[in-house]
Amino acid sequence: MNADTPEQKVVDILKQNRIDIAATLPCDRIKALLPLIARNIKTLPLTREENGAGICAGVYLGWGRPVMVIQSTGIGNMINALLSLNLTYRIPLPIITSWRGVYKESIEAQWQLGRRLPEILAASGIKFTIIESLKEIERLDEAIKESFNNSHPHVILMSPAIWEGSTCEIPEPMDICSRNIELVFSVTIKKPVLTRYEAIRTIVETIDEDEDIIVSNLGIPSKELFEIRDRELNFYMLGSMGLVSSIGLGLAINQKRHVYVIDGDGSLLMNPNALISIGEYPTTNLTIISIDNASYGSTGNQETCTQSLIDLELLAKASGINDTVKAHSQDDLSEALRRKAQFIHVIVKPVNAKCKEIPFSANEIKKRFMRALKE
Ligand SMILES: Cc1ncc(C[n+]2csc(CCOP(=O)(O)OP(=O)(O)O)c2C)c(N)n1
Protein backbone atom coordinates (compact mmCIF):
# COMPACT_ATOMS: atom_id res chain seq x y z
CA MET A 1 0.00 0.00 0.00
CA ASN A 2 2.86 2.39 0.79
CA ALA A 3 5.17 1.36 -2.07
CA ASP A 4 5.55 4.07 -4.73
CA THR A 5 3.79 6.67 -2.61
CA PRO A 6 5.48 10.07 -2.26
CA GLU A 7 5.85 9.35 1.45
CA GLN A 8 7.77 6.13 0.72
CA LYS A 9 10.04 8.05 -1.65
CA VAL A 10 10.90 10.50 1.13
CA VAL A 11 11.68 7.63 3.51
CA ASP A 12 13.85 5.98 0.83
CA ILE A 13 15.80 9.22 0.37
CA LEU A 14 16.31 9.52 4.15
CA LYS A 15 17.59 5.95 4.30
CA GLN A 16 19.90 6.43 1.30
CA ASN A 17 21.37 9.40 3.13
CA ARG A 18 22.00 7.27 6.25
CA ILE A 19 19.78 9.48 8.40
CA ASP A 20 19.69 7.90 11.82
CA ILE A 21 17.39 10.24 13.77
CA ALA A 22 14.31 12.23 12.76
CA ALA A 23 13.01 14.90 15.15
CA THR A 24 9.39 15.58 14.26
CA LEU A 25 6.39 17.78 15.01
CA PRO A 26 3.15 17.18 13.09
CA CYS A 27 1.36 18.98 10.30
CA ASP A 28 -1.95 17.74 8.94
CA ARG A 29 -0.49 17.50 5.42
CA ILE A 30 2.19 15.02 6.50
CA LYS A 31 0.03 12.81 8.70
CA ALA A 32 0.83 9.80 6.52
CA LEU A 33 4.54 10.65 6.21
CA LEU A 34 5.31 10.95 9.92
CA PRO A 35 4.17 7.45 10.99
CA LEU A 36 5.99 5.96 7.99
CA ILE A 37 9.19 7.73 9.06
CA ALA A 38 8.68 6.51 12.64
CA ARG A 39 8.40 2.90 11.39
CA ASN A 40 11.68 3.17 9.49
CA ILE A 41 13.95 5.62 11.33
CA LYS A 42 14.49 6.35 15.03
CA THR A 43 12.06 9.20 15.65
CA LEU A 44 11.94 11.78 18.43
CA PRO A 45 8.57 13.53 18.58
CA LEU A 46 9.07 17.12 19.78
CA THR A 47 6.99 19.61 21.73
CA ARG A 48 8.71 22.66 20.19
CA GLU A 49 10.91 22.93 17.12
CA GLU A 50 13.67 25.04 18.70
CA ASN A 51 14.29 22.23 21.18
CA GLY A 52 14.63 19.92 18.17
CA ALA A 53 17.35 22.14 16.70
CA GLY A 54 19.30 21.70 19.95
CA ILE A 55 18.76 17.93 20.11
CA CYS A 56 19.75 17.53 16.45
CA ALA A 57 22.88 19.64 16.99
CA GLY A 58 23.84 17.29 19.83
CA VAL A 59 23.20 14.25 17.64
CA TYR A 60 25.44 15.73 14.94
CA LEU A 61 28.20 16.66 17.41
CA GLY A 62 28.11 13.02 18.49
CA TRP A 63 28.79 12.08 14.85
CA GLY A 64 25.17 11.28 13.95
CA ARG A 65 23.06 12.34 10.97
CA PRO A 66 19.78 13.96 12.07
CA VAL A 67 16.90 15.53 10.15
CA MET A 68 13.87 17.46 11.30
CA VAL A 69 10.41 16.95 9.80
CA ILE A 70 8.01 19.73 10.81
CA GLN A 71 5.39 22.22 9.68
CA SER A 72 6.90 25.32 8.05
CA THR A 73 5.54 27.52 10.86
CA GLY A 74 8.08 25.78 13.12
CA ILE A 75 10.84 27.65 11.28
CA GLY A 76 9.45 30.77 12.95
CA ASN A 77 9.93 29.07 16.32
CA MET A 78 13.55 28.17 15.65
CA ILE A 79 15.06 31.07 13.74
CA ASN A 80 17.40 32.12 16.58
CA ALA A 81 18.61 28.55 17.00
CA LEU A 82 19.31 28.24 13.27
CA LEU A 83 21.42 31.40 13.29
CA SER A 84 23.09 31.34 16.70
CA LEU A 85 23.69 27.58 16.79
CA ASN A 86 23.70 26.02 13.30
CA LEU A 87 25.12 28.92 11.28
CA THR A 88 27.48 30.06 14.04
CA TYR A 89 29.02 26.64 14.81
CA ARG A 90 28.56 25.37 11.24
CA ILE A 91 26.29 22.51 12.20
CA PRO A 92 24.31 20.90 9.37
CA LEU A 93 20.59 20.24 9.69
CA PRO A 94 18.26 19.27 6.84
CA ILE A 95 14.77 20.46 7.81
CA ILE A 96 11.92 18.95 5.81
CA THR A 97 8.93 21.23 6.19
CA SER A 98 5.34 20.90 5.18
CA TRP A 99 5.04 24.31 3.52
CA ARG A 100 1.81 25.92 4.60
CA GLY A 101 0.21 29.24 3.73
CA VAL A 102 0.63 29.15 -0.05
CA TYR A 103 -0.91 26.12 -1.81
CA LYS A 104 -4.71 25.71 -1.34
CA GLU A 105 -4.44 27.26 2.13
CA SER A 106 -7.71 28.04 3.90
CA ILE A 107 -6.25 28.79 7.35
CA GLU A 108 -5.63 32.52 7.48
CA ALA A 109 -3.12 32.18 10.33
CA GLN A 110 -0.80 30.34 7.94
CA TRP A 111 -0.65 33.08 5.31
CA GLN A 112 1.62 35.71 6.82
CA LEU A 113 4.58 33.53 7.75
CA GLY A 114 4.09 30.93 5.04
CA ARG A 115 4.14 33.39 2.14
CA ARG A 116 7.11 35.30 3.48
CA LEU A 117 9.22 32.26 4.37
CA PRO A 118 11.41 32.28 1.25
CA GLU A 119 12.25 35.95 1.86
CA ILE A 120 12.80 35.40 5.58
CA LEU A 121 15.13 32.47 4.93
CA ALA A 122 17.01 34.35 2.21
CA ALA A 123 17.44 37.39 4.45
CA SER A 124 18.66 35.10 7.28
CA GLY A 125 21.30 33.49 5.10
CA ILE A 126 19.64 30.09 5.47
CA LYS A 127 19.78 27.87 2.40
CA PHE A 128 16.39 26.58 1.19
CA THR A 129 14.85 24.51 -1.59
CA ILE A 130 11.23 24.67 -2.76
CA ILE A 131 9.71 21.39 -3.96
CA GLU A 132 6.39 22.02 -5.72
CA SER A 133 5.48 18.55 -6.98
CA LEU A 134 6.37 14.87 -6.84
CA LYS A 135 8.35 15.21 -10.08
CA GLU A 136 10.94 17.29 -8.21
CA ILE A 137 11.33 14.93 -5.25
CA GLU A 138 14.97 14.14 -6.08
CA ARG A 139 15.78 17.70 -5.03
CA LEU A 140 15.20 16.51 -1.47
CA ASP A 141 18.17 14.19 -1.84
CA GLU A 142 20.30 17.05 -3.19
CA ALA A 143 19.26 19.36 -0.34
CA ILE A 144 20.12 16.79 2.36
CA LYS A 145 23.54 16.21 0.81
CA GLU A 146 24.08 19.96 0.43
CA SER A 147 23.39 20.48 4.13
CA PHE A 148 25.87 17.83 5.34
CA ASN A 149 28.52 18.66 2.72
CA ASN A 150 28.52 22.37 3.55
CA SER A 151 27.83 22.12 7.30
CA HIS A 152 24.83 24.42 7.46
CA PRO A 153 21.07 24.11 7.83
CA HIS A 154 18.98 23.63 4.70
CA VAL A 155 15.20 24.11 4.79
CA ILE A 156 13.17 22.12 2.29
CA LEU A 157 9.76 23.73 1.67
CA MET A 158 7.54 20.89 0.46
CA SER A 159 4.25 21.88 -1.11
CA PRO A 160 1.09 20.03 0.01
CA ALA A 161 0.60 19.30 -3.72
CA ILE A 162 3.22 16.54 -3.37
CA TRP A 163 0.99 14.38 -1.18
CA GLU A 164 -2.28 14.92 -3.09
CA GLY A 165 -3.85 11.62 -4.13
CA SER A 166 -1.35 9.57 -2.13
CA THR A 167 -2.52 6.15 -1.00
CA CYS A 168 -0.09 6.03 1.91
CA GLU A 169 -1.75 4.53 4.96
CA ILE A 170 -2.80 6.79 7.86
CA PRO A 171 -2.82 4.80 11.12
CA GLU A 172 -5.84 4.74 13.44
CA PRO A 173 -5.58 6.94 16.55
CA MET A 174 -4.05 5.10 19.50
CA ASP A 175 -6.12 3.64 22.30
CA ILE A 176 -5.93 5.84 25.42
CA CYS A 177 -5.94 3.80 28.63
CA SER A 178 -6.58 4.81 32.23
CA ARG A 179 -3.47 5.49 34.30
CA ASN A 180 -2.42 6.54 37.78
CA ILE A 181 -0.12 9.44 38.52
CA GLU A 182 1.37 9.77 41.95
CA LEU A 183 3.87 12.33 43.20
CA VAL A 184 4.80 12.95 46.81
CA PHE A 185 7.38 15.71 47.00
CA SER A 186 8.51 17.73 49.93
CA VAL A 187 11.81 19.54 50.08
CA THR A 188 13.53 22.35 51.96
CA ILE A 189 15.63 24.81 50.05
CA LYS A 190 18.35 26.14 52.32
CA LYS A 191 20.02 29.52 52.13
CA PRO A 192 22.77 29.13 49.51
CA VAL A 193 26.39 28.81 50.55
CA LEU A 194 28.01 27.82 47.24
CA THR A 195 28.74 30.03 44.26
CA ARG A 196 28.33 28.85 40.66
CA TYR A 197 32.13 28.94 40.28
CA GLU A 198 32.53 26.55 43.25
CA ALA A 199 29.81 24.29 41.88
CA ILE A 200 31.51 24.12 38.48
CA ARG A 201 34.88 23.43 40.14
CA THR A 202 33.26 20.55 42.04
CA ILE A 203 31.91 19.16 38.75
CA VAL A 204 35.31 19.38 37.08
CA GLU A 205 37.04 17.71 40.04
CA THR A 206 34.50 14.88 40.30
CA ILE A 207 33.93 13.69 36.76
CA ASP A 208 36.24 11.46 34.72
CA GLU A 209 38.47 14.05 33.10
CA ASP A 210 39.59 11.83 30.23
CA GLU A 211 36.21 10.41 29.25
CA ASP A 212 33.24 12.52 30.25
CA ILE A 213 31.62 15.29 28.22
CA ILE A 214 30.65 18.67 29.67
CA VAL A 215 28.26 20.92 27.75
CA SER A 216 28.08 24.32 29.40
CA ASN A 217 25.56 27.12 29.30
CA LEU A 218 26.06 30.41 27.50
CA GLY A 219 27.46 33.48 29.21
CA ILE A 220 29.45 33.39 32.43
CA PRO A 221 29.07 29.64 33.21
CA SER A 222 31.05 28.74 30.06
CA LYS A 223 33.70 31.33 30.90
CA GLU A 224 33.97 30.01 34.47
CA LEU A 225 34.33 26.45 33.18
CA PHE A 226 37.01 27.57 30.70
CA GLU A 227 38.93 29.30 33.50
CA ILE A 228 38.63 26.36 35.93
CA ARG A 229 39.71 23.73 33.40
CA ASP A 230 39.62 23.96 29.66
CA ARG A 231 39.46 20.54 27.98
CA GLU A 232 38.67 19.33 24.50
CA LEU A 233 35.64 17.44 25.79
CA ASN A 234 34.08 20.73 26.97
CA PHE A 235 31.49 22.12 24.56
CA TYR A 236 31.01 25.81 25.28
CA MET A 237 27.74 27.48 24.33
CA LEU A 238 28.19 31.04 23.08
CA GLY A 239 24.48 31.78 22.55
CA SER A 240 21.20 29.90 21.89
CA MET A 241 19.82 30.45 25.37
CA GLY A 242 17.78 27.45 26.55
CA LEU A 243 19.32 24.84 24.28
CA VAL A 244 22.19 23.49 26.37
CA SER A 245 20.18 20.59 27.85
CA SER A 246 18.71 19.79 24.42
CA ILE A 247 22.22 19.52 22.98
CA GLY A 248 23.22 17.33 25.93
CA LEU A 249 20.31 14.99 25.21
CA GLY A 250 21.24 14.73 21.52
CA LEU A 251 24.82 13.88 22.48
CA ALA A 252 23.74 11.30 25.04
CA ILE A 253 21.50 9.63 22.47
CA ASN A 254 24.38 9.28 20.03
CA GLN A 255 27.32 8.67 22.38
CA LYS A 256 28.35 6.12 24.99
CA ARG A 257 30.29 8.65 27.08
CA HIS A 258 28.60 10.26 30.07
CA VAL A 259 27.30 13.76 29.29
CA TYR A 260 27.16 16.39 32.05
CA VAL A 261 25.15 19.50 31.18
CA ILE A 262 25.68 22.74 33.10
CA ASP A 263 22.36 24.53 32.70
CA GLY A 264 21.02 27.62 34.49
CA ASP A 265 17.65 28.45 36.00
CA GLY A 266 16.76 31.21 33.51
CA SER A 267 17.84 29.09 30.56
CA LEU A 268 15.98 26.00 31.68
CA LEU A 269 12.83 28.07 32.14
CA MET A 270 13.25 29.42 28.59
CA ASN A 271 13.10 25.87 27.23
CA PRO A 272 11.36 23.49 29.66
CA ASN A 273 10.64 21.45 26.52
CA ALA A 274 14.16 20.05 26.98
CA LEU A 275 13.06 18.45 30.26
CA ILE A 276 10.02 16.93 28.57
CA SER A 277 12.24 15.37 25.88
CA ILE A 278 14.67 14.08 28.51
CA GLY A 279 11.75 12.55 30.41
CA GLU A 280 10.40 11.04 27.21
CA TYR A 281 13.70 9.55 25.96
CA PRO A 282 15.47 8.40 29.10
CA THR A 283 19.18 7.79 28.67
CA THR A 284 21.54 6.39 31.28
CA ASN A 285 24.45 8.63 30.30
CA LEU A 286 23.00 12.11 30.82
CA THR A 287 23.13 14.29 33.94
CA ILE A 288 21.55 17.75 33.87
CA ILE A 289 23.04 20.03 36.51
CA SER A 290 20.81 23.05 36.88
CA ILE A 291 22.83 25.66 38.74
CA ASP A 292 20.13 27.84 40.25
CA ASN A 293 21.24 31.29 41.40
CA ALA A 294 17.62 32.49 41.27
CA SER A 295 18.70 34.99 38.65
CA TYR A 296 19.83 35.70 35.11
CA GLY A 297 23.39 35.91 36.38
CA SER A 298 25.14 36.56 33.09
CA THR A 299 23.07 39.65 32.34
CA GLY A 300 23.36 41.29 35.76
CA ASN A 301 21.55 39.04 38.25
CA GLN A 302 17.96 40.01 37.41
CA GLU A 303 15.63 37.75 39.44
CA THR A 304 14.04 34.65 37.92
CA CYS A 305 10.97 33.04 39.47
CA THR A 306 12.80 30.08 41.05
CA GLN A 307 12.99 31.95 44.36
CA SER A 308 9.28 32.62 44.60
CA LEU A 309 7.37 30.25 42.33
CA ILE A 310 8.95 27.28 40.62
CA ASP A 311 11.11 24.50 42.01
CA LEU A 312 13.22 23.20 39.14
CA GLU A 313 13.58 19.73 40.66
CA LEU A 314 9.80 19.46 40.82
CA LEU A 315 9.59 20.68 37.22
CA ALA A 316 12.03 17.92 36.22
CA LYS A 317 9.96 15.33 38.09
CA ALA A 318 6.76 16.62 36.50
CA SER A 319 8.47 16.13 33.13
CA GLY A 320 9.00 12.44 33.80
CA ILE A 321 12.59 12.59 35.11
CA ASN A 322 12.57 10.33 38.15
CA ASP A 323 16.12 10.37 39.48
CA THR A 324 16.39 13.95 40.78
CA VAL A 325 18.25 15.45 43.72
CA LYS A 326 18.86 18.79 45.40
CA ALA A 327 22.43 19.88 46.22
CA HIS A 328 23.40 22.70 48.57
CA SER A 329 27.04 21.81 49.28
CA GLN A 330 30.09 20.50 47.45
CA ASP A 331 29.59 17.14 49.19
CA ASP A 332 25.92 16.90 48.07
CA LEU A 333 26.93 17.76 44.53
CA SER A 334 29.88 15.40 44.23
CA GLU A 335 27.84 12.53 45.68
CA ALA A 336 25.04 13.15 43.15
CA LEU A 337 27.60 13.36 40.34
CA ARG A 338 29.31 10.14 41.40
CA ARG A 339 26.06 8.24 41.27
CA LYS A 340 25.26 9.93 37.93
CA ALA A 341 21.82 11.26 38.97
CA GLN A 342 19.69 12.33 36.00
CA PHE A 343 18.91 15.81 37.33
CA ILE A 344 20.79 17.75 40.00
CA HIS A 345 19.31 21.01 41.24
CA VAL A 346 22.17 23.02 42.75
CA ILE A 347 21.25 25.97 44.95
CA VAL A 348 23.84 28.75 44.71
CA LYS A 349 24.28 32.46 45.44
CA PRO A 350 23.98 35.00 42.58
CA VAL A 351 27.71 35.66 42.27
CA ASN A 352 29.68 35.88 39.01
CA ALA A 353 33.43 35.28 38.91
CA LYS A 354 35.47 37.74 36.86
CA CYS A 355 36.62 35.65 33.91
CA LYS A 356 38.30 36.28 30.59
CA GLU A 357 36.66 35.60 27.23
CA ILE A 358 36.94 32.13 25.70
CA PRO A 359 39.59 32.63 23.00
CA PHE A 360 38.11 30.16 20.48
CA SER A 361 35.67 30.70 17.63
CA ALA A 362 32.47 28.64 17.59
CA ASN A 363 33.82 26.54 14.75
CA GLU A 364 37.04 25.84 16.69
CA ILE A 365 35.05 24.77 19.75
CA LYS A 366 33.02 22.42 17.58
CA LYS A 367 35.92 20.96 15.64
CA ARG A 368 38.16 20.14 18.59
CA PHE A 369 35.19 18.75 20.54
CA MET A 370 34.16 16.43 17.70
CA ARG A 371 37.76 15.36 17.14
CA ALA A 372 38.13 14.54 20.85
CA LEU A 373 34.98 12.40 20.73
CA LYS A 374 36.57 10.23 18.03
CA GLU A 375 39.67 9.48 20.13
C1 LIG B 1 16.84 34.52 23.54
C2 LIG B 1 17.75 35.24 24.46
N3 LIG B 1 17.25 36.09 25.36
C4 LIG B 1 18.08 36.72 26.22
C5 LIG B 1 19.44 36.52 26.15
C6 LIG B 1 20.38 37.27 27.08
N7 LIG B 1 20.96 36.37 28.09
C8 LIG B 1 22.19 35.81 27.95
S9 LIG B 1 22.66 34.89 29.24
C10 LIG B 1 21.23 35.22 30.04
C11 LIG B 1 21.01 34.74 31.45
C12 LIG B 1 21.01 33.26 31.61
O13 LIG B 1 20.59 32.99 32.93
P14 LIG B 1 20.71 31.57 33.58
O15 LIG B 1 20.35 30.52 32.62
O16 LIG B 1 19.95 31.57 34.86
O17 LIG B 1 22.26 31.40 33.84
P18 LIG B 1 23.27 32.25 34.75
O19 LIG B 1 23.89 33.27 33.86
O20 LIG B 1 22.50 32.83 35.88
O21 LIG B 1 24.25 31.23 35.22
C22 LIG B 1 20.38 36.04 29.29
C23 LIG B 1 19.06 36.53 29.72
C24 LIG B 1 19.91 35.63 25.17
N25 LIG B 1 21.21 35.37 25.02
N26 LIG B 1 19.06 35.01 24.36
Question: Tens of pLDDT along 17-50?
Answer: 999 999 999 999 999 999 999 999 999 999 999 9
Cite the beta strand spans of the chain per DSSP E. 21-24, 42-45, 66-71, 93-98, 127-131, 153-158, 194-195, 213-216, 234-236, 259-264, 286-292, 295-296, 302-303, 324-327, 343-349
Using the Cα atoms of residue 340, residue 215, residue 240 and residue 44 in order, give the sign of their dihedral: negative
pLDDT at 185: 93
Whether 248 is in the pocket of ligand 1, judged by its Cβ within 6 Å, is no
What average pLDDT does the segment 258-277 reach? Answer: 98
> For residue 301, which atom of ligand 1 is closest to its CA?
20
What average pLDDT does the segment 261-269 reach? Answer: 98
Whether 198 is in the pocket of ligand 1, judged by its Cβ within 6 Å, is no
Is the pLDDT at 226 greater than 80, yes or no?
Answer: yes
Taking the C-alpha atoms of residue 251 and residue 21, their distance in angstroms, rounded to an integer, is 12
> What does the pLDDT look like over 131-172, one tens digit per residue?
999 999 999 999 999 999 999 999 999 999 999 999 999 999
Residue nearest to atom 20 of ligand 1 (CA): 297
pLDDT > 90: what percent of the chain? Answer: 98
The residue among 272, 328, 297 whose CA lies nearest residue 221 is: 297
Which one of 298, 304, 306 would you pick to mutate in the ligand 1 pocket, going by the greatest count of ligand atoms within 8 A of its CB?
298
CA 272–ligand 1 middle distance (angstroms): 14
Whether 265 is in the pocket of ligand 1, judged by its Cβ within 6 Å, is yes
Taking the C-alpha atoms of residue 50 and residue 247, their distance in angstroms, rounded to an integer, is 11
Is the pLDDT at 326 greater than 80, yes or no?
Answer: yes
> For residue 350, which atom of ligand 1 is closest to its CA?
20
CB 248 within 8 A of CB 261: yes
Residue nearest to atom 1 of ligand 1 (CA): 241
Whether 293 is in the pocket of ligand 1, judged by its Cβ within 6 Å, is yes
Domain with CATH 3.40.50.970 in the chain: 6-163, 194-374
Taking the C-alpha atoms of residue 103 and residue 111, their distance in angstroms, rounded to an integer, is 10
Angle separating helix axes 138-150 and 6-16, nearest 10 degrees:
30
Taking the C-alpha atoms of residue 364 and residue 36, their distance in angstroms, rounded to an integer, is 38
Is the pLDDT at 3 greater than 90, yes or no?
Answer: no
> For residue 80, which atom of ligand 1 is closest to its CA?
1
Is the pLDDT at 92 greater than 70, yes or no?
Answer: yes
> For residue 220, which atom of ligand 1 is closest to its CA?
19
Q: Categorize the per-residue pLDDT at 273 as very low, low, confident or very high, splitting at 50, 70 and 90.
A: very high
CA 237–ligand 1 middle distance (angstroms): 11
pLDDT at 1: 59
Whether 6 is in the pocket of ligand 1, judged by its Cβ within 6 Å, is no
Secondary structure of residue 130 in the 3-state scheme: strand
Backbone conformation region of residue 349, classed left if phi is above 0, alpha if psi is from -120 to 50, else beta: beta
Looking only at the bridges linking them, the beta strands covering 295-296 and 302-303 are antiparallel
CA 137–ligand 1 middle distance (angstroms): 41
For domain 6-163, the question of CATH label 3.40.50.970 is answered with: yes
> For residue 296, which atom of ligand 1 is closest to its CA?
13
pLDDT > 70: what percent of the chain? Answer: 99
Residue nearest to atom 17 of ligand 1 (CA): 264
> What does the pLDDT look like over 274-285, one tens digit per residue?
999 999 998 999
Q: Categorize the per-residue pLDDT at 287 as very low, low, confident or very high, splitting at 50, 70 and 90.
A: very high
Residue nearest to atom 6 of ligand 1 (CA): 299
pLDDT at 109: 97
Amino acid of residue 36: L
CA 361–ligand 1 middle distance (angstroms): 20
Whether 350 is in the pocket of ligand 1, judged by its Cβ within 6 Å, is no
Taking the C-alpha atoms of residue 244 and residue 246, their distance in angstroms, rounded to an integer, is 5
Q: What is the homologous superfamily of the domain 194-374 according to CATH?
A: Thiamin diphosphate (ThDP)-binding fold, Pyr/PP domains (3.40.50.970)
CA 241–ligand 1 middle distance (angstroms): 6
> What does the pLDDT look like over 166-211, one tens digit per residue?
999 999 999 999 999 988 999 999 999 999 999 999 999 999 999 9
Whether 299 is in the pocket of ligand 1, judged by its Cβ within 6 Å, is yes
Q: Categorize the per-residue pLDDT at 375 as very low, low, confident or very high, splitting at 50, 70 and 90.
A: confident
